[in-house]
Structure 1
Amino acid sequence: MKTLSIMFVAVAFIATSSLYAQRKTDIENSKDHPLVSRFSGAVIEFYKETKWGSYKLPVDDNGKIDWKKPKELEGKVTRIQYTVSPDNNSEFVLQNYKSAFKKAGFTVLISIANEELGESDRPHTWGDKYYATGGYYNGLNNGKFGMGIGLPIWKNNHAFIAGRENKDGKDIYAVIYAVVDEKYTLITEDIVEVEAVETGMVSAENISQAILSSGHIAVYDIHFESGKSEIKQESSAALKNIAEYMNSNAAKKFFIVGHTDNTGNFAAAMVLSENRAKAITNELVTKYGVKPEQLNAQGIASLAPIESNLTKEGRAKNRRVEIVEQ
């Protein structure tokens, strides 16, 4: 699976049950995520990995909470819930993560606590908006990544922080939501590794097999800046493998076909898909020695979907480049 960017989200809140006692050891088959260090003294209460999913983050580009137009992230989601002593109140958790973000090179996008979160946005409301299945708000993430412990009612000791870093061309976001109860503080980390659906790295061998069996192959390992035709550096391995196949089959000719999903303006998508196909053709010719007469660049936007555009998973599959034998 080709990773485009990595995002992690950490959230903290408290359970409603006064009968709950903090565990002494981590639950079985759980572990810290390598991107996020454990809060001192914390114990893992819940752990779940979702191989690929759609995750919504309610923070806009200006560092404001935006429930109506959240960022939509797609990729692997790991949720880890920790408990820690209630001596670690929400603002203390907030300040610790804020310092950790800055040391790690993150830009803090938002850092707010208690009244700054709004009178109506106490923990039970945040839980409904962010996590819940059903309910009044039908939460942004609709319970699909699991929750080990529920939220408190009317506990107004909570905080929220989000940060962003770009490392080696990959975006990393971090978000913490913290709440404190009488018994303990619960910290939940949502780690979202944003990436395309799993397809496997294209190789000369699997191109050959696909062309022989069906006359074409869908490629998901060539990446572009959003809304642009500039090819990202991480596409070089795929381009090299495509060129290897084409240079070994110099008598054959191919269409390079750009595809999009059905979002946005169709006319603009037609232009974009063709420009991306032309950019790939240019790279193959100028950098990898493919003969120009072998290639014909075409763009057809959303005219040939291979999955339904009604789901995010389907749209991700439809955003592709195809190599088609002429």
Structure 2
Amino acid sequence: MSILTKIAYAIIFIWLSNPSASANDIAGCSDVGGLRRFIDSSIVMCERHDFDTYTLPTGKNTGFDFDSNKAEFESSMNIEGRLVENVYAIPPAVSSVDVFRNYKADLAANGYRILFQAERDATGPHLGSFFETTGPGTQIWGYSPDQARYIAAVKEDGGAKTYIALYVIEYQDGYDPNFSPQKGQAMVRLDAVQVGALEDRMVPASAADISKDFEVDGKAALYGILFDFDKATIKPESRPALDEIAKFLQQNPAQRVYLIGHTDSVGGFDFNMQLSKARAAAVVDDLSRTYHLETSRMMSSGVGLQAPVASNATQEGRARNRRVEMVPSDAQMGLSALGLQP
């Protein structure tokens, strides 16, 4: 970084304060991604989830279905991880241009790489509607497009990545019960998704655990098997869990099993039924190809959202419901209710 560049950053950061809580912040909210906040701004809304899915726009918005609240983009990324979504109110009389320029400089100074950026019409016709209907949504995003500015960025730190979605507007219209911006007041939506580090929490069941679960519960929940978002593609991080499943089956050569896919309730009944079946079939296929286990010992099926183990009303509950279960094929009780044939 040149001396002139450093001086430019120093001048810009006059407008930025260190990341710290403001007396006007909503309780439980704080800055994210190691980024500074605009001076004298406050967090008026936030949502935080230990684990969630997120669609990161990485291209121009091309449309929006107002019946399903689904946005379309030239390109986007579906990612999973620790999610924080903050809404900042900027002091009046500050333009969105100043706010955007400062945040962009702070992203660069903190090692973020820009994936996509756009201003005004180049953001697309309904990028505001996307933010209005996701996370701490509020009408102001959808009704104030004239001075809208957007950045998608990523920072890599070892095995972890932090993705940023930054959306800046100048309020023109739209009601929100939580606060009342002044006409022309800049507002910031800053979403941060941390991926990579969270997957260490997904401890796979050992072969001994599976054996014990069979004896005690008549089944074993296999949470260490991870899939791409809304797909049946097994992630490489699933290998330790698959190793243990294969080890159990190798240690018990006479054991035949059902592998049953389960999903949360997001996406509807038919979609989740097909997804759960495809994921269970993918596990059987991997066990057969990688570990040379006989497919005749394994029957796959899926029950979609029909057998939750936690409430789908919370992010944590949905994470528990997304799983593959293994059931010994001699455990006949309840199989007909799950749509399986012994």
Would you say 1:163 and 2:152 are equivalent positions?
A: yes
> 2:142, 2:254 → 1: CA distance?
67
**1:177 is matched with which residue?**
168
Structure 1 residues 235-276: Cα deviation after superposition (integer angstroms, max 9, x where no partner): 1332344456556x5466242615265544977975664233
Aligned length: 275
Aligned-partner residue type, residue 35 of structure 2? S
1:321 to partner: Cα distance: 2.1
Please say if 1:210 is aligned against 2:213. yes
* Amino acid in the other structure paired with 2:217: S
Distance apart, 1:174 and its partner CA: 1.7
Structure 1 residue 81 and structure 2 residue 87: aligned?
Answer: yes
Matched residue, 1:325: 328
Counterpart CA distance in 2 for 1:303 and 1:154 is 37
Which deviates more, 266-275 or 170-179? 266-275
Counterpart residue number, 1:111: 118
Q: Does the 8 Å contact 2:160/2:195 carry over to 1?
A: no
Q: How does 1:1-326 map to 2 (within 5 A)?
A: 29-33=28-32, 35-46=33-44, 48-51=46-49, 59=57, 62-68=59-65, 69-70=70-71, 77-86=83-92, 88-101=94-107, 104-113=111-120, 126=128, 129=129, 139-141=132-134, 145=136, 151=140, 158-165=147-154, 167=156, 168=159, 172-179=163-170, 181=182, 185-192=186-193, 201-204=203-206, 206-225=209-228, 230-243=233-246, 249-250=251-252, 253-255=255-257, 257-259=259-261, 262-264=269-271, 270=277, 273-283=280-290, 285=291, 292=293, 296-302=297-303, 305-307=306-308, 319-326=322-329
Equivalent residues of 1:85, 1:183 under 8 A apart: no
The higher-RCO structure (CA 8 Å, 6+ apart) is 1
Closer/same/farther in 2, CA of residues 223 and 112 from structure 1, 3 Å limit = same
Give, in angstroms, the shift of residue 170 of structure 1.
5.8
TM-score (norm 1): 0.59
Residue 42 of structure 2 aligns to which amino acid in structure 1? I
Distance 1:161 1:153 in 2: 14
CA distance in 2, matches of 1:89, 1:303: 48
Cα distance, 1:229 vs structure 2: 5.6
- Opposite residue 67 of structure 1, the aligned amino acid is F
Residues 1:317 and 1:98: Cα distance change in structure 2 (over 3 Å): same
**Contact 2:56/2:152, CA 8 A, preserved across alignment:** no
Change beyond 3 A, Cα 1:319–1:268: closer
Identify if the C-alpha distance between structure 1 residues 154 and 117 changes in structure 2 by more than 3 Å, giving closer, same or farther: same
Aligned-CA RMSD value = 5.0
Structure 2, unmatched stretches of 5+, are: 1-21, 73-77, 172-181, 264-268, 330-342
254 and 106 in structure 1: CA distance in 2 versus 1, 3 angstrom threshold? farther
SS in 2 for 1:80: strand
Q: From the two aligned structures, give the one with the greater helix fraction.
A: 2
Going from structure 1 to structure 2, the CA distance change for 1:70 and 1:101 (only over 3 Å counts) comes to farther
Is the Cα–Cα contact under 8 Å of residues 86 and 191 in structure 2 kept in the other structure?
A: yes
Sequence identity of aligned pairs in percent? 18
Q: Give me the whole-angstrom Cα distance separating, in 2, the residues matched to 1:222 and 1:260.
A: 12
- C-alpha distance in 1, partners of 2:299/2:225? 16
Superposed displacement of residue 161, structure 1: 0.8
Counterparts of 1:305 and 1:36, CA distance in 2: 41
- Alignment-mate amino acid for residue 191 of structure 2: D
Partner of 1:67, secondary structure, is strand
SS at structure 1 position matched to 2:61:
coil
Residue 258 of structure 1 contacts residue 300 of structure 1 at CA under 8 Å; is this kept in 2? yes
Are the structure 2 counterparts of residues 74 and 245 from structure 1 closer, same or farther at C-alpha, using a change threshold of 3 Å? same
Map of 1:18 onto structure 2 = none
